Amino acid sequence: MHPDPIVRRFHACALAGVPANLIGDPGSGKTSRILAYGEALNLKPQEGMERFILSRCESIDLRPRLFFEGKVLVVDPPELARLRSRQASLIPWILGILFLDELNRAPREVEGAALDIIDRPPQGIVVFAACNRQTRGQAVRNLGSAAANRFCHLDVAPDANAYAKALVEGGWNSGSPQDFAPPSEEDLAKAKTKTAFLISSFIRRHQEILEAEPQDPVKAGRAWPSPRTWEHVLKLESIARALDYSFEDRQALINGCVGYGPGTEFLAFAQDADLVDPEEVLKDPQSFTPDKARVDKTIAALTSIAGAVQNNFTEPRWQAAWKCVNRCVEADQKDAGVVGADLLVMTHGGLSEAKKQGITPVRRVIPTALAMILASGSGSK
């Protein structure tokens, strides 16, 4: 794992295909870190790494027009054309880096022209951006909410220890190639399953947080929750869990996508889920005791249990999971039971027909009280 937290975090963004925006004071190491990271992946300037200084650009520079044979053609700028020709790097699916520097010093129309590139870069191209903080003497502004909502925003502050280490160990890309290795497919699949269940349950419980664009233009120019940024959270949290990142790294990545408030609430929800060992509960469903004072904690536990069943779907584990749901009904926590039932129904629905053979159908295992609620449309579907 790379020693510098900023490098670790935007490396996770690169692996996840989530655009990262580094925000810091001039001279704090934003550009040098990104350039060093590209070199560490064997991506050299004007071969596998291109830097757009957007404060010097016009919108036409990002989407040039050519008049050819009586037609106007929209073409890639030379920077993107060179990136398309890149063939290899240290990580097979990262073929190049497009670095949008001084994004919040660019004219608003240039920022708008960059959105299409941010949304749909060439296959294998990672998009990074850098913004200066709004400090005295800096001709910078807030990002528009449309641009801000496309990034994971990472704060870059001077770190004396990281800087001193970089001076004597070869720069910001110091470390071994192993520091930049992607997770195994198996670890990533497990982490993605768990994270998807957690986000699904969290959003069901806190529907107002699915999309909440701030009215304050300053706050709207940073991280805020939307379906797109929750999708970013799914990708980044899966990568971070698979690579065994620290809580601080995961927190920075999640908050960088959806903002401090929603990110903190989600992490608390996820921590509650981690307090329950789903494997132990599946071995002994009667040991599962819903917390009557914390419905959210019960839902988090059921989320973890459903994820464990999906990872290893067998008839005994399927039956045991429904017994846990029934424990919620018995404890008069039908709301939590509805969510748990919904998650298990989705898990069963995702099985192939071959795997469904020998598995008791949902209608025979779902508690009667919950079946009636779901049939009436009162529960989640």
Q: Angle formed by the axes of helices 260-274 and 247-258, to 10°?
A: 140
Give the domain 1-182 fold: Rossmann fold (3.40.50)
Residue 117 has pLDDT above 80, yes or no: yes
pLDDT in tens, 5-50: 898 999 999 999 999 999 998 888 888 888 888 888 877 766 688 8
Contact 150, 220 (CB under 8 A): no
Give the model's pLDDT for residue 41. 82
- Torsion angle of C-alpha atoms 313, 318, 321, 323, degrees rounded to 10: -170
Task: Report the distance separating Cα 95 and Cα 87, nearest Å.
Answer: 6
Q: Are 63 and 171 in contact (CB under 8 A)?
A: no
Overall average pLDDT of the 338-346 stretch: 88
Q: What is the mean pLDDT of the chain?
A: 86
d(CA 258, CA 263): 6
End-to-end alpha-carbon separation of the chain, Å? 41
What is the rounded CA–CA span in Å between residue 346 and residue 321? Answer: 13
* % of residues, the chain, pLDDT over 90: 36
Strands (DSSP E) contained in the chain are: 20-24, 49-53, 65-68, 71-74, 96-101, 125-132, 152-156
Taking CA atoms, 27 is separated from 23, 53, 130, in Å, by: 11, 15, 12
C-alpha span between 320 and 275 (Å, rounded):
19
Whole-angstrom distance, CA of residue 103 vs CA of residue 131: 6
- Burial class from Cβ neighbours inside 10 Å (0-12, 13-18, 19+) for residue 244 reads exposed
The C-alpha angle 176, 125, 211, rounded to 5 degrees, equals: 105
Q: Judge whether 275 and 313 are in contact, CB under 8 Å.
A: no
pLDDT band for position 381 (cuts 50, 70, 90) = very low
For residue 235, CA distances in Å to 17, 47, 151, 268, 271 come to: 8, 28, 13, 19, 18
Residue 36: what residue type? A
Q: Beta partners for 152?
A: 20
d(CA 200, CA 197): 5
Angle at 88 between CA 75 and CA 178, to 5 degrees: 135
Which pLDDT band, with edges at 50, 70 and 90, does 379 fall under? very low
Helices (H), 226-277: 227-242, 247-258, 260-274
Handedness of CA 288, 294, 298, 301 (dihedral sign): negative
pLDDT computed for residue 197 by the predictor: 87
Q: Within a 10 A sphere around the Cβ of 43, how many other Cβ atoms?
A: 24
Tens-place pLDDT, residues 267-326: 988 888 777 888 999 999 999 988 887 888 888 889 889 988 988 899 999 999 999 998
Other CB atoms within a 10 A radius of the CB of residue 371 amount to 15
User: Where in the chain are the domains?
Assistant: 1-182, 275-376
CA-atom Rg of the chain in angstroms:
24
pLDDT tens-digit map of 240-263: 999 999 999 999 999 999 999 999
Q: In what order do the strands lie in the sheet with 125-132?
A: 49-53, 96-101, 125-132, 20-24, 152-156
**Amino acid at site 9:** R
* Chain centroid, CA 306 distance in Å: 21
pTM: 0.81
